[in-house]
Structure 1
Amino acid sequence: MIIGYARVSKDDQNLNRQVDQLQAYGAEKIIQEKFTGTKRQRPGLDQLLQLIRANDVVVVESISRLGRQTLDILNLIQLLHQKQVKFVSLKENMDTATPTGRAMLQMMSVIAELERNLLADRVKEGIAASRRRGVTVGRPRVPQEKLKIAIRMYRSNEYSVKEILATNQISAGTFYREVNRLKLKKLKRKDEQ
C-alpha cells in the first residue's frame, strides 16, 4: 500500500497542496496532521507507524514534512527500513530503496534541521531588534481598568468567574494571575505589620 503523510505546523495552514501531490503520486491512504515537526511524538505520525506493513511505501511531499530534527528523521527512516517499508520524498526526488536515495536522505535531513535552526535564530534576532527600538513584543497588555473592574466584580460575590471574564473580555489566566498577585500583596502587607 502507498501511504501518504501530509503535515503542517499550525492550524491556520493548509494541507491541500501536499494532499494533491500525494494523490498524484498514487497514495491510497493519506494521513493528515497539523502539528509541529520539532516534536517526535505526533498523533498522525504515530498513526502512520501503526498502519505500515512490510513492502508498503510511505510518501511525503518534502522531507521536512517528516520532521525537523535530523536525528529524529534518520531514526524514523531507519525504523521504516527495518520494517521493510520504502520511503519516498517527492520534492527531493528521494527513494530509500536505493543506496543513493539513502545517502541523499541523510544530506537532506541535515539541511532540514539547518533551515529550522536558521529560522529560529532569525526570529530571535527580530525580537531583539524590536525590543531595542522600544517596540513591545508579544500579546498586548490587558488595560488595568479592565482588571480593576474584574476584581471588583469578583469581590462582590455577585458574578461567576465566567461572567466576569466575558464581561471584561479577559482570559482566565490573566484574571487568576491578578487575583493571586493581589493575594500575595495582601499577605506581604500583613507580614510587614
Structure 2
Amino acid sequence: MIFGYARVSTKEQNLDLQIDALAKAGCEDVFSEKLSGRSEKKPKLEELISKLRKGDMVVVYSLDRLGRTSKELINLLSDFKEKGIQFKSLQEGIFDTTSAMGEAVFQIIAILKAMEVQVLSERTKDGLAAARARGKKGGRPKGSYDKNKAAAAVTLYQRDLPISEITKSLNISRSTLYQYLRNEGIK
C-alpha cells in the first residue's frame, strides 16, 4: 500500500498543496497534521508508522515534512529499511531508498536540509541581536492591564464557567484571560 504523510507547522498554513501532490503520486491513504516539526510527538506520523507493513511505501512532499534533523530522518529511514518499507520524497525526486544510490542521496539531502534549518536559525538570532543592539524590542506590544477585568476574570473562573464564556463575556482573548489569571495568582 502507498501511504502519504503531509505536515505544516502552523494552523494558519494550508495542507492542500501537499495532499494534492500525494494523491497525484498514487497515495491510497494520506495522514496529515498541523504541528511544528520541532514537536517531539507527531500523532499522525506515529499512527501512519503503526500501520506500515513490509512492502508498503511512504511518500512525502518534501523531506523536511518528515523530520527536522538529519539524525531524525536517518533513524526513521533506517527503521523503514529494516522493516522492508520503501520511501519517496516528491520534491527531492531522485529519492528511491530501494537502491544504494538512493540511500546515499538521502543521507546527503538530510544533511543539507539540517544545515539549512541551522543557517536560518542562526540568521534569525543574528538579526534579533542586531535589532536589540539598536534598541529595538521584539514581540507583541504590552497591552494595558485592566485590574477590573482581571478581578472579574478570577471570579468567573473560580465559578467554573467555561473559558469560552469568560472570554466572551469580558470581551478578551484566551491568552489575555490566562495572563490575568497568572497575574492574580491563579494557576
Note whether the superposition's TM-score is higher than 0.5: yes
- CA shift, 1:24, in A, is 1.2
Q: Kindly report the root-mean-square deviation, in angstroms, between the aligned alpha carbons of the 2 structures.
A: 2.3
Aligned-partner Cα distance in 2 for 1:16–1:102: 29
How many residues are aligned here? 176
Aligned-partner Cα distance in 2 for 1:151–1:18: 43
Aligned-partner Cα distance in 2 for 1:77–1:18: 20
2:156 aligned partner: 160
| Equivalent residues of 1:31, 1:44 under 8 A apart | yes
Normalised by the length of structure 2, the TM-score is 0.83
1:97 aligned partner: 98
Alignment of structure 1 residues 30-179 onto 2, 5 Å: 30-93=30-93, 94-144=95-145, 146=146, 148-151=147-150, 153=152, 159-161=155-157, 166-167=169-170, 169=172, 171-179=176-184
Aligned-partner Cα distance in 1 for 2:13–2:75: 27
Matched to 2:170, the amino acid is T
Alignment of structure 1 residues 170-189 onto 2, 5 Å: 171-180=176-185
Secondary structure of the residue aligned to 1:180 is: coil
Richer in helix (by share): 1
Normalised by the length of structure 1, the TM-score is 0.81
2:160 aligned partner: none
- CA shift, 1:112, in A, is 1.3
In structure 2, runs of 5+ residues without a counterpart are: 158-162
| Equivalent residues of 1:80, 1:86 under 8 A apart | yes
In structure 1, runs of 5+ residues without a counterpart are: 182-193
| Equivalent residues of 2:2, 2:28 under 8 A apart | yes
- CA shift, 1:123, in A, is 2.0
Secondary structure of the residue aligned to 2:6 is: strand
Percent pairwise identity: 35
Answer with 1 or 2: which has the greater Rg.
1
- CA shift, 1:151, in A, is 4.9
1:185 aligned partner: none
